[in-house]
Amino acid sequence: MRRGRRLGILGGTFDPIHVGHLDAGDAARDALALDEILLIPAHDPPHRQIDPSATVYHRFALVSLAVAERTAYRVSDMELVRQGPSYTADTLRALHAEGWHASQLFFILGTDAFAEIAAWYGFPSFFDLAHFVVIARPGTTIEKAVARTPELRVRMCAAAHGVRIGEGPPRIFLVEAQTHDVSSSTIRERLAAAQPIDDLVPASVARHILKHHLYGAVDDLHGENERL
């Protein structure tokens, strides 16, 4: 039964997924009592200047591994199998077609992404398709992010655990949270330099990256040391 359920949506290139992504999902779930978090890897991210480094198959595998032991998390391939750019507006409409209502959907993003949201396809009409949950990220405060779109302030409010969602248009919830200071580009740079990433990604993600030599990863030095 979807009636009354709250679905968090965490989209991204996930090239690769890292602990910062999971921090954002956890913060949104805790702040708004979400029942489930749906991770949606993008096939063709429209806001990224270069193509993803890993294939769609590896990125989907990495996300699946990252949440394998998190019962409240699941992964969708809906953007991976859809042709054309992976627009958030199209994804939210597809969820509506599955029976979800705007009041049940909570699209999660960091302050760094929200600061650029005016450039997204469908702005600002997609704000009527779901609640948006803005998570504080290192380097971009909530105040700095929301200052870029003052016309949206009428929709904004601070999130609090168990907050009741009333009538009216979907809101933009602002969540102050402690999240790891990490980015996918930092992980790729570390791997290219043969540096460890154990503190940046779940262990299962690190193992898959090293096993398949993604992002220029070399042999698993930690594993070699354990066998000596």
Asked if residue 155 belongs to a domain, the reply is yes
Asked if residue 95 belongs to a domain, the reply is yes
Segment 155-183, tens digit of pLDDT: 999 986 555 565 668 999 999 999 999 99
User: What's the pTM?
Assistant: 0.91
Q: pLDDT at position 161, please?
A: 56
DSSP state of 191: H
Considering its fold, how many domains does the chain have in total?
A: 1
Asked if residue 169 belongs to a domain, the reply is yes
Range of the domain at 158: 7-181
- Burial state string for 102-139 with b = 16 or more CB within 10 A and e = fewer than 16: ebbbbbbbbbbbbbebeebeeeeebbebbbbbbbbbee
CATH number for position 64: 3.40.50.620
Residue 1 has pLDDT above 60, yes or no: no
Asked if residue 11 belongs to a domain, the reply is yes
DSSP 134-159: EEPBTTB-HHHHHTT-GGGGGGEEE-
Asked if residue 79 belongs to a domain, the reply is yes
Asked if residue 66 belongs to a domain, the reply is yes
